[in-house]
Structure 1
Amino acid sequence: MTTYPAPTRAQRRAWALKKQDDRARAAYRNSLPQGIRRLEALLASAESPWHAEVIQARIAQVREQTRYKIERRRSRTPEQIARDQADVFPDGHQVCAGCGRRLPVSDFPRDLGRRSATARHCHDCRAEHLAAQAERENDARINNR
């Protein structure tokens, strides 16, 4: 049986300080908001380098979780997508976030990053939005000449 020397007082103190710091980091990290934009705003006004480090670690963690969730959703089979749509829209209809009309799910573009695999805006609202965006970009291009 191997015997190990007892830790020194300095080692025990270092372990206690690390444990205390880890607990403080966890408490602060758990008090942070979930959204990346809010975290980035907090990062700009971080009280100290310690706070900034914890916020940056949380931003990296949220980005990784989001990337994993989107990858997982995009790799679903058509059967899984149909099952998820049936869970989210049991009657097969969705309310458009743009015009507020209740339309069949087939009237919405695909968005595999979302659980329902359908976009929030119907085809008509999406077309209006894209036309307005193209017009704004065209106006900006003309004004910048």
Structure 2
Amino acid sequence: MTPDTFLASTVIILLSLVMLLALRYAYLCYARPFREHTRCKGAGRIPYLFGRGWRFCPRCNGIGYRLRIGRRLWNHVRRLQRESAAKDAPTTDTPKEVGRATNNTAERPEPGGVTPATRSPRTDQTERR
């Protein structure tokens, strides 16, 4: 084996190992987005320096888990993608359905099955305190 082929095979092996580790981390970010918090060791609380008392972990808010950095990055990219898709979406008016009453609210029931004719007038008023 010449030094050139040895170097090339070593580089290929190292690159494939790095790729496998990156794929494993990407799978972990997908399958298990939260990991145990290192400071409180997943308990969500930290002991005081003196005595037997404890307090909630301020970094994880007492939950014991933190979102992985890769998952945080993934969420950020997805949010940017969603916002850009919503911004680029066409805002044309669609034609109204034929035979549908659009202006007559008496024919269109409200959520919960209450029509405006049967609703009591007190339900429209907000209560002030």
TM norm. shorter chain > 0.5:
no
Scaled by the length of structure 2, the TM-score of the pair is 0.38
Higher helix share: 1
Radius of gyration: which is bigger?
2
Scaled by the length of structure 1, the TM-score of the pair is 0.36
